[in-house]
Chain A
Amino acid sequence: MSNILVYAEIEDGVVHDVSLQCLAKGREIADASSGKVDCLAVGSGIRAAAEGLGAFGAEAVFVAEDAKLEQYLTSPFKKVVSDFLKTNSYDLILFPATTVGDDLAPAVAEALGVACVLHCDGLAGDALTRLEFDRKVSTTYKAEGCTIASLKDGIAVAGAPDSSRSAQVSDVAVELDAASTKSKVLRRDVAKKTVNLKDAKIIVAGGAGVGTKENFSLIEELADALGAQIGATRAVVDAGWLPADHQIGQTGVTVRPAVYIACGISGAVQHRVGMLDSGKIIAINTDKNAPIFKIAHYKIEGDLKEVLPKLVKLIKA
């Protein structure tokens, strides 16, 4: 029997999609072993979103609310989650593999002295699998006793809410001491979401090979001609050519459009994991050995400054 707790990451009143995927996966495992799945939500102003988790299959939802938990920080969140787990026991605790989940999961594991496996791409019974060695090897990890894991985007399909289901919602007392409030968030510069890459049918993405901010007009023209959204690599976001909401990959969004046009993108594994399930991949790169070509359906070896205007012309013709 597996009793599972899912950490519900809630930002701006919305439960993170990967937390919902964890819940769907947890449900699957609990159902197969006559176990149960509960959720724990920590933060401020999260109650309404947390209550909605019942419709996604949670049996009980625990809400730890406090104004001091408005922004994520390791120590106070670790304190709240580990205090909760000291009085509530679970076999498996699932976190979304986000910068919050991957930070909190090992911290909680340390506080409790239990096993931790991050970035799992698969979970079956008690076997946790991770894709390693540039996704060439699937490694299976087994843990003793209570196990904490973070699951990657794509682990399951977040089910549709079923309004006939509801969860028992209870409050969790929050006790923060001096030791758990030593650090602070001074400021956050978070891009407002201006693009919806997740639902895009076609994405034209630019990488460092675009060369300059001005050259992004080439990407824009193709995207306009196709009615596509614009994506980017981290190199582009770091260079300040596009805001962070355009970033695709491990620390950006994971996308599955019908068509993905990669322009001047080398295809580092951290980028590929965010786009490799695209229907058709077109890659334009001057380097015939660029790793992106290994996953591309159409390989165009050439300079994007010449190829992109040609594509625009052909589409408009």
Chain B
Amino acid sequence: MSYNCIVIVREVWDTRDLTGSVLADNGSIKDSMLTRFEPEDMNALEMALRIKDEHGGKVTAFSVGTPKQVDVLRECLYRGVDEVVRVDAGASSLGTQAAAQLLADAIGKAGQYDLICVGVTVADGESSMLGTHVAGKLGIEQVSYVDAIEEIGEGRVVGKRGIEMGYEYIEAPLPALLSVGVALVEDDPRTPRSAKAMLKLKAKKAEIPSADVDASAVTSPVSIAGREAVPERAVESKDVAAEDETALKSMLDDVLKGE
């Protein structure tokens, strides 16, 4: 039995190694900020590609954004996705719930599917969990914080859901949506595959089709009223040389004072 999988991917601000301020003087995000493939969406992509590797079928990637913002879709092609669809958001940024509406519209028009995978992240500038809203609008079952698929078959999927003190295993009927969590450790066997040179050559100039949906028809119940820089926490910090036992001792004395 093969599966038609959909992945929803997002290009997000790269917050690794951020130094200095994020905001420009007018309160908008600085032009110099870089973007990257949302890491949990990357895990969602890997999940879908593994289902295809194992059971056959097709993987289609959807992303909301302007033509410039969908490098992630090309990245999906480089990793072995069969089709990509850009969902145009119009000029302004939409907010999570309106983006979910457009995605649901586009996915609804794309034909039969068995499983939708998306990262669980509430990205910077988003207000809620995209996957749950998409599932709600499509009227399908969803499981969030899924770390792994335990089983897929016979019209059902079993997701391993990471919760506060462990895991739970949830069985949902297909079609279902999984919001996928966990930033992977480097030598984790689930680490996402890298782009393939051959596919890169093939897809570098490929046209990215866009979905026939109308961004002007959706409205967001939530809007961003403002952004404010949060001052760095001023931590008075001391370097303590690892070999210097006297320094280590005085550090211990300092912190254990009063304990």
Render A270-296 as a binary contact track against B, CB cut-off 8 A, 1 for contact.
100000100011101000000001111
Give complex CA distance A204, B74 in Å: 44
Q: Are B183 and A136 neighbours in the complex by a CB distance under 8 Å? A: no
Q: Are A145 and B221 neighbours in the complex by a CB distance under 8 Å? A: yes
Q: Who on chain B is nearest to A97 by CB?
A: B122
Q: Are A314 and B248 neighbours in the complex by a CB distance under 8 Å? A: yes
Smallest CB separation, B120 vs chain A (Å): 9
Q: Are A259 and B168 neighbours in the complex by a CB distance under 8 Å? A: no
Instruction: Point out the residues of chain A lying under 8 angstroms from B144, CB to CB.
Output: 74, 99, 102-103
Instruction: Point out the residues of chain B lying under 8 angstroms from A142, CB to CB.
Output: 222-225
Q: Who on chain A is nearest to B169 by CB?
A: A186
At the interface, yes or no: B162 with Cβ under 8 Å from chain A? yes
Q: Who on chain B is nearest to A202 by CB?
A: B259
Q: Are B142 and A185 neighbours in the complex by a CB distance under 8 Å? A: no
Q: Which of A31-39, A50-58, A158-166, A297-305 is the contact stretch?
A: A297-305
Give complex CA distance A193, B164 in Å: 11
Q: Are B242 and A103 neighbours in the complex by a CB distance under 8 Å? A: no
Q: Are A139 and B224 neighbours in the complex by a CB distance under 8 Å? A: yes
Chain B interface: which size bin? 35 or more
Instruction: Point out the residues of chain B lying under 8 angstroms from A301, CB to CB.
Output: 239, 242
Which of B182, B221, B228, B235 contacts A138 (CB under 8 A)? B228
Render A114-146 as a binary contact track against B, CB cut-off 8 A, 1 for contact.
111111000000010011111111111111110
At the interface, yes or no: B172 with Cβ under 8 Å from chain A? yes
Which of A100, A105, A137 contacts B23 (CB under 8 A)? A137
At the interface, yes or no: B63 with Cβ under 8 Å from chain A? no
Which of A110, A145, A302, A315 contacts B133 (CB under 8 A)? A110
Which of B21, B170, B240 contacts A184 (CB under 8 A)? B170
Give complex CA distance A252, B259 in Å: 25
Smallest CB separation, B255 vs chain A (Å): 5
Smallest CB separation, A296 vs chain B (Å): 6
Within 8 A of B (CB), among A248-264: 251-253, 258-259
Q: Are B166 and A299 neighbours in the complex by a CB distance under 8 Å? A: no
Give complex CA distance A109, B143 in Å: 16
Which of B23, B241, B242, B245 contacts A303 (CB under 8 A)? B242
Q: Who on chain B is nearest to A117 by CB?
A: B127
At the interface, yes or no: A94 with Cβ under 8 Å from chain B? no
Instruction: Point out the residues of chain A lying under 8 angstroms from B23, CB to CB.
Output: 137
Within 8 A of A (CB), among B128-172: 128-129, 132-133, 135-137, 141-145, 158, 161-172
Task: Say yes or no: A186-B158 contact (C-beta < 8 A), given A74-B143, A252-B164.
Answer: yes
Chain A interface: which size bin? 35 or more
Within 8 A of B (CB), among A168-189: 182-189
Smallest CB separation, A123 vs chain B (Å): 13
Q: Are B225 and A127 neighbours in the complex by a CB distance under 8 Å? A: yes
At the interface, yes or no: A244 with Cβ under 8 Å from chain B? yes
Instruction: Point out the residues of chain B lying under 8 angstroms from A115, CB to CB.
Output: 97, 127, 221-222
Task: Say yes or no: A183-B127 contact (C-beta < 8 A), given A99-B161, A110-B136, A140-B225.
Answer: no
At the interface, yes or no: A198 with Cβ under 8 Å from chain B? no
Which of A114, A191, A239, A297 contacts B221 (CB under 8 A)? A114
Smallest CB separation, A300 vs chain B (Å): 5
Give complex CA distance A301, B232 in Å: 22
At the interface, yes or no: B13 with Cβ under 8 Å from chain A? yes
- Between A and B, 25 residue pairs with Cβ closer than 8 Å are A74-B142, A102-B129, A103-B144, A106-B133, A107-B132, A116-B133, A131-B230, A132-B124, A136-B22, A136-B230, A140-B224, A140-B226, A182-B173, A183-B170, A188-B166, A190-B165, A190-B166, A238-B185, A244-B164, A258-B255, A259-B259, A298-B251, A302-B242, A303-B242, A306-B242
Task: List A residues at the B interface (Cβ < 8 Å).
Answer: 71, 73-75, 98-100, 102-103, 105-107, 109-111, 114-119, 127, 130-145, 182-191, 193, 201-202, 208, 226, 234-235, 238-239, 244-245, 251-253, 258-259, 268-270, 276, 280-282, 284, 293-303, 306-307, 310-311, 314-315
